[in-house]
Amino acid sequence: GESVGLHLPTLSVQEGDNSIINCAYSNSASDYFIWYKQESGKGPQFIIDIRSNMDKRQGQRVTVLLNKTVKHLSLQIAATQPGDSAVYFCAEWLSNIPTFGRGTSLIVHP
Amino acid sequence: DSGVTQTPKHLITATGQRVTLRCSPRSGDLSVYWYQQSLDQGLQFLIQYYNGEERAKGNILERFSAQQFPDLHSELNLSSLELGDSALYFCASSTSTGKGEKLFFGSGTQLSVL
C-alpha cells in the first residue's frame, strides 16, 4: 500500500495490547488538534479531536491526551486490533488550515 | 467511503508534461483542500478553495494551479512536471471554512512522473 516505503516512525504491537502513538506539535498558540488514520490505499480518516482547553478526550477505544506544557499529543488505542494497522497523523490548527505531522506507522501482529 | 471522489486514481506521465487532477467534494461541502503526500515530506497543504474562491495557500509551486468551479468540484493542474512531483495528491472537503472543520479526504491520485 501507499504507506509502505514511507520513511516513518513505526510502532509494532501484538493484537490485544494497548498502543500509544506520540506527536509533538510546533506552535504553542495552536488550540485545536485532530488525529487521523490512513489505511493502505485510502485517504486519511478523522478519528478524534481535542481542543486546547482540555487535557484528555475519550472516544471508542481511543483516548487523546494533550500536554500543552511540552507541546505533546498522544493517541492511545485500547485492545489494538489488526484493523488498527495504519499510519496515524496528528494535525494542529493554528490558522484556518490543519497542519499535519509526518505520521506514525502502526503495525499490529495477530 | 468519505464521499469525496478523486479521479484518476493513478496517473503516469513524463517529465515536462501537464496533468489535471479532479476532485468532487461531499454533497453540500463548500470547501475543498488539496494536499500532497510524498515519501519524505508527509502531508503538505497546497491550497484551499471555499465556494469558488481561493481561501488559503500553502507551499504550492508556481507550476501548480487549482480552481473550484460553480458546481464546487475542483481541479488541480500540475505543469512542467518534474520527477520530484511524483506523489500522492489528496483532495479533502469540509462543510464550511475555519478552525475546527472536519476534513473528509478522498482516496487520492497517485502521480508517477517518469
Q: How confident is the model at residue A1 (pLDDT cuts 50, 70, 90)?
A: very low
Q: Is the peptide bond before B25 cis (omega within 30 degrees of 0)?
A: no
In this prediction, what percent of chain A has a pLDDT beyond 70? 94
Q: How confident is the model at residue A97 (pLDDT cuts 50, 70, 90)?
A: confident
Q: Which residue matches cell numbers 508556481?
A: B62
Instruction: Report the alpha-carbon angle A34-A51-B3, nearest 5.
Output: 35
Chain A nearest CA to B90, separation (Å): 7
A interface mutation test: which of B2, B43, B94 has the most A CBs within 10 A? B43
Cβ–Cβ below 8 Å for A46 and B42: no
Cβ–Cβ below 8 Å for B2 and A43: yes
How many angstroms separate the CA atoms of B87 and B85, rounded? 6
Task: Give the N- to C-terminal CA distance of chain A in Å, as an integer.
Answer: 19
**Burial class of residue A31 (count of CB atoms within 10 Å of its CB; 0-12, 13-18, 19+):** middle
Q: Name every chain B residue with its beta carbon within 8 A of the beta carbon of A7.
A: 39-40
* Per-residue pLDDT reduced to its tens digit, B96-106: 888 888 999 99
More confident residue, A5 or A20: A20
Average pLDDT of chain B to the nearest whole number: 95
Cβ–Cβ below 8 Å for B45 and A2: no
pLDDT attached to residue B100: 81
